Structure 1
Amino acid sequence: MVTKIFVNLPTTDLDRSKAFYEALGCEINPLFTDENAACVVWSEDVFFMVLTREYFGTFTDKTVVDAKAAAQVLVALSRDSRDDVDDVLAKGLAAGGSEPREPQDLGFMYSRDLEDPDGNVLEFLYMDPAAAEQGPEAFLGDQN
């Protein structure tokens, strides 16, 4: 059985959000998109449901936080190389995103954070295959 992942993200401007995620290379699934929500296809198994803040609020009894002021969740997405991480960040920055912190280079893993225009944080990372399969010590051991 394959698990599909749907990440719900609130937005104050649905059209701006759709344009931002399309600039990252995502497609919008029109079958699940209307004036309240857009289905952003990240991959065959990963989707973002970008929802107007009002519509997002109908799915929870909790307060919908302002992602520019508070963190609720950080979504981490792997890339195939360090260059792929840098490429998606460049696209996101050009589309109105921001980089809230410096890149992190741990040797075995390279990551950069991208904030969408609503403040939702996407972490893009590349991990060395040896470290991904055997843990960071395997990569670090190969470096000595």
Structure 2
Amino acid sequence: MTKMIIVSLPVADLGASTGFYKALGFEMNMQFSDTATMCMVWSNTIQVMLLTRTKWQSITDRPLAPSGSAKLMLSLSVDSREAVDQMSEIAAQRGGRADVNPVRDHGTMYSRDFSDPDGHLWSTFWMDATAAPAGSQEA
């Protein structure tokens, strides 16, 4: 079986969150979706499960984080600096917030951070792998 990462996120409005992630380029996987859950696919190995808060609370006794708090940030690589900018612009247009942290431009790496409508933090980044220094190859 291929190793995957599936990120589960509690959301206030499943329809709005589905629209938000679709606008960012995620695809819906209806096989693993229902009225309380929407599976959003980024790649063959990365998926996001959007769960209504009621559904979320049925799978864990842990409380939802208070609004405005952060315990993690998820990062997605994209193909260009322009794609980084585009995702931030789409996030802001679809109910999220762009540039929740300062834009980082290191020449060979460029990133911007945004939050979704529920405050979950995301970073998109582009990196010129050909300009990165070669790492040591130890046997």
Q: When the two structures are superposed, what TM-score results if normalisation uses the length of structure 2?
A: 0.87
Gapped runs of 5+ residues in structure 2?
none
Q: Distance in 2 between matches of 1:16 and 1:28?
A: 13
Displacement of 1:39: 0.1
Tell me whether 1:39 sits opposite 2:36 in the alignment: no
Displacement of 1:133: 6.5
Instruction: Out of 28-37 and 11-20, give the one that drifted further.
Output: 28-37
User: Alignment length, in residue pairs?
Assistant: 134
Q: Distance in 1 between matches of 2:19 and 2:112?
A: 21
Gapped runs of 5+ residues in structure 1?
136-144
Which letter does structure 2 place at the counterpart of 1:42?
A: W
Q: Distance in 2 between matches of 1:112 and 1:34?
A: 32
Q: Distance in 2 between matches of 1:8 and 1:98?
A: 20
**Which ranges of 4 or more aligned residues in structure 1 deviate by more than 4 Å?**
none
Displacement of 1:91: 1.8
Aligned to 1:81: 80
Q: Once the two structures are superposed, what CA deviation does each residue of 1:39-63 show, in whole Å capped at 9, x if it has no partner?
A: 0011111100011112112222322
Q: Distance in 2 between matches of 1:125 and 1:133?
A: 18
Matches within 5 A, 1:52-71: 52-66=52-66, 68-71=67-70
Identity, % of aligned positions? 40
Distance 1:33 1:132, change over 3 A: farther
Q: Distance in 1 between matches of 2:69 and 2:124?
A: 20
Tell me whether 1:14 sits opposite 2:14 in the alignment: yes
Which letter does structure 2 place at the counterpart of 1:60?
A: T
Matches within 5 A, 1:1-144: 2-66=2-66, 68-99=67-98, 100-130=100-130, 134=134
Of Structure 1 and Structure 2, which has the larger fraction of its residues in helix? 1
Which letter does structure 1 place at the counterpart of 2:96?
A: G
